Amino acid sequence: MLTVYQHITQNKRRSWLLVLLFPATIFLWFYVGAWGYWWFSVGSYKYDKATDSLVRVSRAVSVMDLVNQTMLEILPWLAAAVLVWMLVSYFCGDKMLMYFSAATEVTRNEEPEAYRLTENLCISQGMPMPRLCVINDRSLNAFAVGRDPQTAAIVLTRGIIDKLERVELEGVIAHELAHIQNNDTRLMLLAVVYVSFFTFLSEVCFHWALLSAKRVETRHGRPSAVVGAAAFAVLGVFLAVYGFLVAPLVRLALSRTREYLADASAALMTRHPLALASALQKISKDPRVEILDAHASMSAMCIADPLDSKGVFGFLAGLRASHPPAFERIRRLREM
């Protein structure tokens, strides 16, 4: 088990790794896409800018030369787009996540007990008071967002506020404060941005594939339109597969131990591990937040997985789970 300080250092190191891995993966995907596009087209055709069409050429044309030329043309635009995406995500990512979850900020007058519990815990830890937000959902769940303690927010569902006892709610809030304290929220923000970008990119590719397919009809099957539609469709499929199967491994690489450490830190803050154990037991019975069904990448941020893992894909969901089993977390808390 890592100490808190080792965990924070590890989070900082992994944050930088994600910052470097994200643009590297984007450039790799575009390079593979350009290579595939020209590999299937260079044997018979070459793009002619003057006529906006593909003209028949010899197979002696070098695929790598065309790929390198293509990448040189799009590299500045691609680098600018990635940089803008990363800056916007880093500085506005918490607002985006709050928007996706339909969370609204509440005041001391609106939620006096939750506000007072959060404030008291922050004073005991010497932390700035995060914003307190509520999702209007009767299920039980919570998460924290923010790139640092100064910009952090704790998000609670209506159900978790109304259905938990005071000491249980205190344990949940302490758990989320521990994530803020340990820099988990910054790392998870980068991970969510990393995963969601590929989902967004696959949708863009499918959109361009449909536009290219329409050109096939209007241009009577001109090769440029056919190759373009096929290339965008294939790239869109690969990106979708990457987002569904490979990118969640990024979340797993962040380590499930962050939940154990946040549980232990919360127990230390409140001096009441059994209260958090009791809260987790109640939360595990109804963690699903319906509005997050459309934003699966946010599930790793919650105190319990908010997605419905039952049914045909339950086994796969378990393999890709971003949280350790609830019963194991409860067992550890009860042994403290």
Catalytic residue among 111, 168, 170, 176: 176
Residue 222, amino acid: R
Q: Token digits for 109?
A: 């007058």
Q: What's 311's DSSP letter?
A: S
Task: Please confirm, yes or no, whether 176 is among the known catalytic residues.
Answer: yes
Find all residues with CB under 8 Å of 261, minimum gap 6, and list them. 1, 2, 4, 7, 178, 182
**Residue among 133, 106, 127 nearest 174 (CA):** 127
CA distance 328 to 331: 5
Q: Is 134 helix (H, G, I), strand (E, B) or coil?
A: strand
State the Cα–Cα distance between residues 318 and 256, nearest whole angstrom: 13
C-alpha 73, offset from chain centre: 30
Number of CB atoms found within 10 A of residue 313's CB: 11
Q: How far is CA 64 from CA 32, 73, 75, in A?
A: 11, 14, 16
Q: How far apart are CA 328 and CA 61, in angstroms?
A: 60
Go through the chain and tell me how many residues it has.
Answer: 336
Q: Which residues are catalytic?
A: 176
